[in-house]
Structure 1
Amino acid sequence: MNKYTGLLSFVFGIILTVFVFLSWRSCNKKDEAAMVNQDYYLITNQIQKMNKMVVLEQDFSSFQTHKSSAAKIAGFDILPREMVLYTTAKAQVSYDLKKMKIDVDTVSKKVIIDELPQPEIKIFPDVKIHFMDDYAVNRFKQSDINGIMESAKKNMSKSVNQEQLKQESKKQLKENLTEIFVLAKALHYSIEDKTNTFSSAEL
């Protein structure tokens, strides 16, 4: 009787040990799953907060001079006329972050940038007559003034360095994404940029 009792006790002890081990492992798995879900929620929630329009603005200004004359005699201008224009331009670069696609891989612990919006550049030129000097017999016509002002606007738009604006806007874009990068690194996630917008040193 004692022999069977000891055997039963031994078997019962093994079963209890296995049960405790499986319960402990199950709890650990639940804890790990909960942590993974929490990390995923934190990162995706931060990404959703970034879904907005980012705008960078810069102002430019310059003076443009237009000169003409009724005729030239012996190299001298006859009845010269002159107009000095003050031109300004507001350059606006925008990123629609609703168009970005960022995946969160909880298995490999990666934040993957699949797609980023391209910068949209808009230039709003304006021109005012700063100074105008003409003669009664060689006066600027309104059609001349309109043409000169329109030409000044086009010249102002062309003078804006769009490549430099794109570089400046890239810095602004990275600043907006920094919150995602910092949070991902704090949760021990690596960042992979498939768009090649940022160098590995910037991530």
Structure 2
Amino acid sequence: MARQTSTETDIKNVMTPLIQALIRSGKIIYLILFAIIGFLIYQLVTVKKDSSSVEYDTNLIQEQIKNVGKLVVTEGHFSQVMTYKDQNKYLGDLISFDKKALVVINADVTVSFDLSKVQYDIDAPNKTLTITSIPKEEIKISPDIKYYNVDQSTFNEFTGDDYNKINKIAKENLAKKIEKSSLKSNAKNRLISELSKILVVTNSMGWKLQYNGEVVNSDKEFTQKIKG
């Protein structure tokens, strides 16, 4: 804005003496022509500055989005103990071969958001940045399973199917624990913290930030829209 004001002042300083000279000489036609030329020069200078400013703002916003386009990861640890039992029955349940084991599961869990997948639209003329899509969280469960007090018979031994079944049950139980924990909520808070950097930039530049069809004016509104 400062350069534009300086340019307007320079034009005024040059034009004013010439206009006064033309008025004194009575050359009205030249005055009109000079006024038209001056107006065109003014328009050319100001439009160029405005276009340059919009282009600069657009590039700055794109760079900020690129800066936050990283993997946000929140980690947690969960433990559980379960008893696994299985029976093979024969002769109308008269004979039963059992197997069982105490299973201890320790799992490292990560909840991540890949912000490079954020989709957005830039409306430069209206100075509006619209976030159209935020990626869903990706949950990774890495269980470490140990078996204790393993009891089995020759006719009902532990097999690969048993271990796969135990692994599946363990992950399902862990998923329920994760839902009840604060891990996903903490991950979303980190997500909002990163995206809020875009809000700071748009506000400082006089742009609007939109999400879900509505203008976002504060971190609190951003939080409500993402968690809602």
Partner of 2:126: 108
Deviation string for 1:92-137 (max 9, x for gaps)?
22333333211111122111111222222222211123x5386xxx
Deviation at 1:60, TM superposition (A): 0.7
**Structure 1, gaps ≥5 residues long:** 69-80
Q: How far does residue 50 in structure 1 lie from its aligned partner after superposition?
A: 3.0
Q: What one-letter code is carried by the residue in structure 2 that aligns with 1:202?
A: F
Cα distance, 1:140–1:42 mapped onto 2, change above 3 Å: farther
Aligned 1:60-79 pairs, distance under 5 A? 60-65=78-83
1:20-58 CA-partner distances (Å, limit 9, x unpaired): 333223211111111111100000111223333333322
Distance in 1 separating the partners of 2:154 and 2:204 = 67
Alpha-carbon separation, structure 1, partners of 2:138 and 2:116: 14
Q: Which residue in 2 is equivalent to 1:156?
A: 170
Structure number with the higher helix fraction is 2
The correspondence for 2:201, drawn from 173, 183, 186, is: 183
**Aligned residues of 1:43 and 1:184 also touching (Cα < 8 A):** yes
Residue identity over aligned pairs, in percent, reads: 25
Normalised by the length of structure 1, the TM-score is 0.70
Corresponding residue pairs, total: 183
Task: Quote the residue 1:201 is aligned against.
Answer: 221
* Cα distance in 1 for residues equivalent to 2:34 and 2:202: 41
2:149 corresponds to: 132
Q: What CA deviation, in whole Å up to 9, does each residue of 1:147-184 have, x standing for no partner?
A: 76655433331223354554443323222212212111
Q: Any gaps of 5 or more consecutive residues in structure 2?
A: 1-23, 87-98, 224-228
* 1-structure distance, mates of 2:58, 2:171: 45
Name the SS of the counterpart of 1:144 in structure 2: coil
Find the counterpart in structure 1 of residue 40 from structure 2: 22
Q: What is the CA-CA distance between 1:201 and the residue it aligns to?
A: 1.1
Partner of 1:144: 158
Q: Which structure is higher in RCO with an 8 Å CA cutoff and minimum separation 6? A: 1
Residue 98 of structure 1 corresponds to which residue in structure 2?
Answer: 116
Number of the residue aligned with 1:73? none
